[in-house]
Structure 1
Amino acid sequence: MSQNQVRLTDLIAPAFYPVHIDIKQKLHTYYKLDGGRGSTKSSFISLEIIQGMMRDANEGKLTNAVAFRRYKENLHDSVYEQLIWAIDKLGVAGLWKETQSPLRLTYIPTKQAILFRGADKVKKSKSIKVSKGYIKYLWFEELDEFEGSEKIRSIQQSVVRGGENFTVFYSYNPPKSQRSWVNDQAEFSAPDMLNHHSTYLTVPPEWLGKEFIALAEHLKAVKPEAYRHEYLGEITGTGAEVFRNLTSRTITDEEIKNFDRIRRGLDWGYAADPLHYTVCNYDKTRKRLFVFFEIHVVGMSNRRSAAAVKAENKANKEVIADSAEPKSIADYKEYGVRIRGAKKGPDSVDYGVKWLSEELEEIIIDPDRCPNTWREFYGYELARDANGNFKDGYPDKDNHSIDAVRYALEDDMTRNGWGIGNIRI
């Protein structure tokens, strides 16, 4: 059976038809495909890579591919076998050569190759070379297992070069935690990226078999939340997330012009810990907070950071800072900054975080203007003990922006009808 006799509808689930067309028309470079068990996203990607390389060859273009897993030990039984499956299904096994050591698939007519690499050592990506053409296709399977977006970018910068256009696939089952880097649109996104979600419900039932569907339906009946995560690929959360009232979006210059309750806060830092200065607007009527400016630096002297604060705060409105450093506050006053220390008490951290996470309807953070603020608020979770139970109180780490926002809103927080500045908490 030749490739021309194979119908696309026999191999690709209907949910992926629009993605296939998008790829053929070169509308995007990056394709982030997530979904639950049995969604056939990996099957789709393997078919696209094999078809794409052969189509390129017919057009006189010698393109190659690299398939990545975080650890090389997982390559053979996942992406390698999946691509062999695609070759078989397309009826072109006679045109491809399989090599086990090292793992490699070679298109015999043109010597185009599919390479397989583990991402445990990023520097090795720089040594990836092909004898003919360039590397057009990249596939990161089980994306959530990789260490983070920085690792992915580093690999891509080493591999994606020297060609006309590229197609990069990311496939994964979303982790439970919405705080996972792979679920964070601000942390892992691109203007040229198509996001696509699929489930087993979008696949012809006969492809999956009665047993698969029976197991899914059983889990749906006995553990609906596990079903939603495992089979529907939903981000159900771990229960540890503190700020569930976050919104990541652009805050426009026009909005900022109309803000009338602007607050400023500062958390000190120098060496290991960064200094964090925040500017936000508190919409008291709708209980919304807009965070639209930050300074987040390590190793900056008080003189230089005060100058940076003054450059933003041209009207010299009050800044509320951590009172634990009276010398720094005195320095800022000497440099002309209108500043005072926060009124802190033994429960101020817990009370402040609880107020921000429960009293506010929405905390809107612009991830482009305030990337560190978004990262810390989004990633802030309750700590667990050795038995997996949540510890009392809120963790005091990776929370510099949270502290700065707490200080900024000190006078807006209320407790039993009193302003936080009027009571010891």
Structure 2
Amino acid sequence: MIEKEVNPHFEDFLFDWSTKTQFLVGGYGSSKSYHVALKIILKLLSEKRKALVVREVYETHKDSTFSLFTEIVEDLGLLDDSGRKKVAKGKIRPKESPYELKFSNGSKIIFKGMDKPAKLKSINNISLIWLEECSEIKYAGFKELLGRLRHPTLQLHMILSTNPIGEDNWTFKHFFKDEQKNRLVLDDAELYEKRTIIVNDTYYHHSTADDNLFLPESYIAQLDELKEYDPDLYRIARKGRFGVNGVKVLPQFEVRGHDEVMAAINRLAHPLKRVGMDFGFEESYNAVVRLAIDRDKQILYIYWEYYKNKMTDDKTAKELNEFKISKELIKADSAEPKTIEFFKQNGFNIRGAKKFQGSRLQYTKKVKRFKKIICSKQCTNTIYELKPLTYKKNKLDEIIPDEFNLDPHTLSAIWYALDDYEVSDLKGPLDRYKRLMNVR
């Protein structure tokens, strides 16, 4: 019989093994790692199992997971320090070099790092895996570990725990939603509201510092102070929520259903339509977008996209044949005159957009001047690139106004499409007219 006081929000979690996968996300100090470690110890005391604990870097186990397990074992009075070869009955013996915990019933916890993948190949009969700080582990590593989870008789379990980071991380895309692939598993807002939920054989658990009754009030006050000077870290550390880290380039960007977008465009008396194209091949992409502009309300609609790489020009031209038929003007990247000439010779109405020193910044400012940017839900790659797009920062933590957290090919295509269009400033047409006429 083991008596241990735990945080009430984790009581059900400790003994719930109904699902194969368990995903815990939460803020700083919520005690999620502590309760995962305790849960694994209790499980291995009751059943003979081999558990694998994984972090991205092996050496970080020493001061995190291995230290945590040892602390819990000591606190439970289960530490075997007899020095005998065989672990004393009902006890657990931690061992370093390599890190390991041995149980008297034959259970074992081993620790590995994804920075030494060769060490994973030799393990077998793993029925339980814990990925601590799973967001730091690569998606390919996660999928490889799924293949290591196998046992002839025991039920298999994988536990993942993390502090939330950006929505561009694989953990968010896999367990919640991937807009590029139009895939939704669970709306993260629903988890924040319900706190625990089971979806598709996965147990979700959300926690914050408020769930840890053993935290001093001074620690929570310290987290609350983040709201004043670091809102991104406040969202992560205090609220335990995923989001976009950094300053958004296009905060007015929003996604709507395709039919709704097309209906709005069709209601415009004189919609201004534009097409832009960015070129790419190996790592970058050929990106084409169709835009419609509501000049009165200063709204930019994005309603069609083409987005592919590793395509030769002849194949791309074939796939874009509808533009050859429609004779729509395509404004393209003038840094690729040879490609533009190829498309011209093949019957496309295409010309290069103006590029000049500082054009990236000026084009970005032009896009930002739209009051709203409304994108069709069908333009999944545009959404993937532009919705979470943030500015890069320099060493002084200052934003770089023409550099971003990723290379947004669809934004480049929009730049070129708007080459000959000027967006009115926010003072409105009347004020602009007065300034032009020098009216006071």
User: Please, what TM-score do these two structures have when normalized by structure 2?
Assistant: 0.70
Offset at residue 403 of structure 1 (A): 0.2
Deviation string for 1:234-267 (max 9, x for gaps)? 67976544233455x7x76655775657754211
State the distance in 1 between where 2:376 and 2:184 align.
18
Aligned to 1:268: 279
Question: Does 2:94 align with 1:98?
Answer: yes
| Aligned partner of 2:251 among 244, 247, 257 | 244
Deviation string for 1:38-74 (max 9, x for gaps)? 210101211222334455x3xxxx6432111222111
User: Please, what TM-score do these two structures have when normalized by structure 1?
Assistant: 0.72
State the distance in 1 between where 2:205 and 2:324 align.
42
Aligned to 2:21: 29
State the distance in 2 between where 1:311 and 1:112 align.
64
Task: Identify if the C-alpha distance between structure 1 residues 71 and 267 changes in structure 2 by more than 3 Å, giving closer, same or farther.
Answer: same
Deviation string for 1:331-383 (max 9, x for gaps)? 223334443333445554223322434524355575x9635861476354234
Task: Identify if the C-alpha distance between structure 1 residues 120 and 351 changes in structure 2 by more than 3 Å, giving closer, same or farther.
Answer: same
Aligned to 1:79: 65
| Aligned partner of 1:202 among 203, 211, 218 | 211
Deviation string for 1:186-219 (max 9, x for gaps)? 5699844555432221222xx23xxx32243256
State the distance in 2 between where 1:359 and 1:410 align.
15
| Aligned partner of 2:42 among 51, 57, 61 | 51
| Aligned partner of 1:333 among 332, 341, 344 | 344
Offset at residue 128 of structure 1 (A): 4.2
One-letter code of the match for 1:270? F
One-letter code of the match for 1:265? G
Task: Identify if the C-alpha distance between structure 1 residues 266 and 79 changes in structure 2 by more than 3 Å, giving closer, same or farther.
Answer: same
Question: Does 2:224 align with 1:214?
Answer: no
State the distance in 1 between where 2:203 and 2:307 align.
32
Aligned to 1:304: 315
Question: Does 2:119 align with 1:135?
Answer: no
Deviation string for 1:144-193 (max 9, x for gaps)? 444x434433x424423467754333323345x67666667656998445
Percent of pairs identical after alignment? 22
Aligned to 2:433: none
Task: Identify if the C-alpha distance between structure 1 residues 142 and 363 changes in structure 2 by more than 3 Å, giving closer, same or farther.
Answer: farther
State the distance in 2 between where 1:333 and 1:169 align.
56
One-letter code of the match for 1:378? P
Task: Identify if the C-alpha distance between structure 1 residues 238 and 301 changes in structure 2 by more than 3 Å, giving closer, same or farther.
Answer: closer
State the distance in 2 between where 1:371 and 1:152 align.
24
Aligned to 1:423: none
Task: Identify if the C-alpha distance between structure 1 residues 187 and 135 changes in structure 2 by more than 3 Å, giving closer, same or farther.
Answer: farther
One-letter code of the match for 2:114? A
Task: Identify if the C-alpha distance between structure 1 residues 42 and 405 changes in structure 2 by more than 3 Å, giving closer, same or farther.
Answer: same
Offset at residue 313 of structure 1 (A): 8.9
Gaps of 5+ in 1: 419-425
Offset at residue 141 of structure 1 (A): 1.8
Q: Is the 8 A contact 2:331 2:416 kept in 1?
A: yes
CA RMSD of aligned residues (A): 4.2
| Aligned partner of 2:306 among 294, 309, 312 | 294
State the distance in 2 between where 1:196 and 1:281 align.
43
